[in-house]
Amino acid sequence: MRIAELSKLSGVPVPTIKYYLREGLLTAGELSSPNQASYNEIHLRRLRLIRALLEVGGLSVAAIRDVLAAVDEPDLSMWKLLGVVSDSLQKHETIADDEEWRRARATVEALLLSRGWIDHDSFWPPAANTLTMVALRLSQLGYESFVSEALTTYLDAAEKVADLDVDYVLRFPDREDVVDGVVVLTVLGEAALSAARLIAHRHVSATKLGIPAPQAD
């Protein structure tokens, strides 16, 4: 197909496609005449993935290039590929590294170790710093007991959801589709889980306060 049709099918404007071509995110089409290139299903699928990384994942063009390079590296295992994608989506928390931070980090580390989510010498995931930051803020605000009492339930809930997410994306036979799934489900799944928790708060407190659920205001 010509670039105009690729644009129509993908919903991506022609100038944007040309920009992706220049930036090397999209491989050049096959030249059918000296100034006409032909594109195929592979380009269409790649465009879909670029849009997911850009619009859903919020990645920069440089970060997208790195993810696509990992997708296209056949010797890179699925496990490593998932690591690259997941890392690119995670917020890298600024570490305070004072006494207070180290205490919160030790609490989080003990919790993750006890579940077998990390081991002593292993990689410390960026999100574990976010969890440390949360534990630290909770303690500062007087909710230290919430950290010790509640975090386990949070991790249980997160694990159930993560199990489903991973099952869902690993069923795709194609690496590109797995990556697309990881990006979309990581970001939109997070929004879904947060929203569901807020709705559940309402329902649960109605029950506990003896309000005839699901009654309204």
Residue 55 token pair:
């619009």
Q: Which of residues 7-26 bind a second copy (CB under 8 A)?
A: none
Amino acid at 77: S
Q: Which of residues 173-202 bind a second copy (CB under 8 A)?
A: 181, 184-186, 188-202
Of 33 and 153, nearer to a second copy (C-beta) is 153
**Is the preceding peptide bond at 214 cis, omega within 30 degrees of 0?**
yes
CA 22 to chain centroid: 27
Among 21, 151, 175, 176, binds a second copy (CB under 8 A): 151
Residues 26-85 close enough to bind a second copy by CB under 8 A: 52, 56, 77-80, 82-83
Which residues are CB-neighbours of 43 under 8 A, at least 6 positions away?
Answer: 6, 26, 27, 29
Which residues, 6 or more positions from 7, have their beta carbon under 8 angstroms from its beta carbon? 13, 14, 17
In the bound state with a second copy, the residue whose beta carbon lies nearer, of 69 and 195, is 195
Q: Which of 61, 117, 175, 176 binds a second copy (CB under 8 A)?
A: 117
Nearest CA to 112 out of 100, 143, 185, 104 is that of: 104
Q: Residue 47 Cβ, how far from a second copy at the closest point, in Å?
A: 13
Residue 18 or residue 203: which is nearer to a second copy going by CB?
Answer: 203
Q: Note whether 92 binds a second copy by CB under 8 A.
A: no
